[in-house]
Chains A and B, each alone.
Chain A
Amino acid sequence: MIFKSHFYAMIIFATIVSTLLAFIRYDKKKDILKYGLKIFLYMSVGVIAFSWVMHYV
């Protein structure tokens, strides 16, 4: 099952949540796309960064 991979589970979660938050926050398509992408990158890059930190702590 795809969800057994923590990475894929996180990516799917970040995709859905960032889409929903972007649609809540903005009305114009361009703004939605920009904000959604930004939130998605914050979430996914943030998780990878914290994972590395936890690996070394």
Chain B
Amino acid sequence: MYIGRNFSIIAAMEAMKAYNIFFLSWLFPGMGHIVQKKYLKGIVFLAGILLLLIFGLIMEGKFYDTKEFHPLLILGFLGDLGSGAFYFIIKWTGLGNGNIQAVTYHYGTTYMVSAGLINYLVALNAFDIARGKRK
């Protein structure tokens, strides 16, 4: 019985670790993999997501906002939020306001929302590795 309790405590700690890695990976793209010694993957994810965001900003794309309540805008906002710390940095610096008159505006916005959506997948991958479901 005592051994069983120990096992459940270990299992709970393992689960907590996996959730912490998920949160870390969401906040800093690629960091969840780097912490688990998957250096190449971590660097590729960080570089790829940063490139998408930088190209999106160069193309004068914008982050979706929640000023108007519309389901599609909310979904876009949730997608953007996937970029973690980069989302907040770009928002606070005012770079993510976009320029609707720019020819590349829609492409830029797509680049930026894709960065967030892919980071959700990256964070889930790091979560699976932490739980031992993937290598």
Contact = CB atoms under 8 A, between A and B. Distances in A.
A and B associate: yes
A49 interface: no
Interface residues of B, number: 22
A14 B129 CA distance: 26
Interface residues of A, number: 15
A42 interface: no
A40 B107 CA distance: 17
A51 to B, nearest CB: 14
Interface string A4-15: 101001001100
A17 B58 CA distance: 18
B70 interface: no
A12 B103 CA distance: 17
B100 to A, nearest CB: 16
Nearest to B41: A23
Interface stretch (B4-12, B48-56, B85-93): B48-56
Contact of A3 (B51, B107, B125, B135): B107
A44 interface: no
Contacts of B75: none
B107 A20 contact: no
Nearest to B122: A24
A6 B111 CA distance: 13
B44 interface: yes
B114 A17 contact: yes
A45 interface: no
Given A3-B107, A16-B52, 9 more contacts: A3-B104, A4-B103, A4-B104, A13-B114, A16-B51, A17-B118, A20-B45, A23-B45, A24-B121
Q: Which 7 pairs, one residue from A and one from B, show the smallest C-beta to C-beta distance? A: A20-B48, A9-B107, A3-B104, A3-B59, A24-B125, A23-B44, A20-B118
